[in-house]
Amino acid sequence: MVDFIKLHGTPSERGFQQGDLLKDKIQNAFDIIFHSKMFSEVTSKLIPLSVIKLALGIMGKKNIKGAIQKILPDQFEKMISIGKAAEIKRSILYGAHYIEVMSGDPKSIYKNPPTQACSMIFALSKATTDGSMFFGRNYDFPNVLQPFQVIREETPEDGYKNINFTQYPLTGCHMGLNKKGLAIGYNYGRSWKKEPLDFRLKGIPGSFIVQEVLESCATTQEAIDFITKFTSRSNGCHYGLMDASGDTCVIETTSTRHAIRRPEDWILAHTNHYQTEELKDANLPDYVRFKMDDMDISPIESPIKRYKREIELLKNYNGQITIETIKEILRDHDNRTPDDFTVCTHGHSAGTLGSIIILPTKKEFWVTDNYPCSSEYEQFKL
């Protein structure tokens, strides 16, 4: 079963509650991650771990602290309070949140382990058997992070109550639902062009933006306005949105550009490649490779294959979709041994760490804490 915590109050109070409730788990998570094979693969073996951690903290402080503190002060206060209660140095805290940005740096793209980074599927009322609406998402990221996941139910003193899925020490989240019936999730957007167009090391990570939307936006249109006018995005993200009225879209973003995809025939799917005409040029070229150990794969190949399979299944079931259909799609292995290219991803170093299904009108939040193909969904209600 997934860990579940309830937080309430001011940003500082909620951050302190999270850090206090998960203190031992946060400290253990950092210890395991810093000594993991994944971390060693992306850092120099000639440099002591203490120096690497110090450098990561310095980069995090330099590149994300100021923007978060100025533009999203509530999220900044929450972040600092998590660290205080968990007794984690601020440098480690800044570094941990900065990894989200740094892992998309085109300069280091050849060194990073493959992180396929998520799938989203949507079915509107006319695509389902009973008029329900579904927003499903597989969370794909490095396998080492799987044990450190938590569901948070947050009741802000000044903001919308929400439930979200995140990692133990993190301030933001990667998917959530608020009491107004607005659901948001995001897939990582790997872009090829660097500053100033599509990627920058300085700015605010996408997970902070997702959390701010949950607390401050009531509709998809409000979230569109917030995200597209947000001038301090750092890494690219594909934001999926669905509200209680059925207004649904994916906002493809880079650090400075954006474009919007809408459902066709009441269904929509999205992975990690830019599909709009406006942003197709941001995609990684086919010749870029991920190389680690005996592995040599294209990072754009998996998103393309997963998208094709997801939209194929949605089309096949269109008009007859139920929650079991959504589960089946998120569990799909395309009738073969699962790998880096299946919807339920089983990669060498990264895979589907959890799966989420949201029913906005019913305020239901269903989640697995591991591969959906081998886990049962747990239901939470907001």
Q: pLDDT of 150-198, one tens digit each?
A: 999 999 999 999 999 999 999 999 999 999 999 999 999 888 776 678 8
What pLDDT, on a 0 to 100 scale, did the predictor assign at position 195?
A: 65
State the average pLDDT over residues 362-376. 97
Name which of 150, 99, 101 is nearest 354 in CA terms.
Answer: 150
The count of other CB atoms within 10 Å of the CB of residue 1 is 10
Q: Are 187 and 207 in contact (CB under 8 A)?
A: no
State the average pLDDT over residues 316-336. 98
Q: Are 106 and 83 in contact (CB under 8 A)?
A: no
Q: What angle do CA 168, 171, 172 make, to 5 degrees?
A: 105
More confident residue, 45 or 269: 269
State the average pLDDT over residues 200-227. 97
Which contiguous run of DSSP H or E holds residue 250?
strand 248-253
State the average pLDDT over residues 200-211. 95
Distance of CA 136 to the CA centre of its chain: 13
State the average pLDDT over residues 93-112. 77
State the average pLDDT over residues 199-207. 93
State the average pLDDT over residues 276-282. 94
- If phi > 0 it is left, if psi is from -120 to 50 it is alpha, else beta; for residue 196 that is alpha
- If phi > 0 it is left, if psi is from -120 to 50 it is alpha, else beta; for residue 83 that is alpha
Outline which parts of the chain fall under CATH 3.60.60.10: 119-381
Query: Would the pTM of this model clear 0.85, i.e. be above it?
Result: yes
Strand partners, 137: 120, 356
What pLDDT, on a 0 to 100 scale, did the predictor assign at position 113?
A: 47
pLDDT in tens, 237-261: 999 999 999 999 999 999 999 999 9
Query: What is the CATH number that goes with domain 119-381?
Result: 3.60.60.10
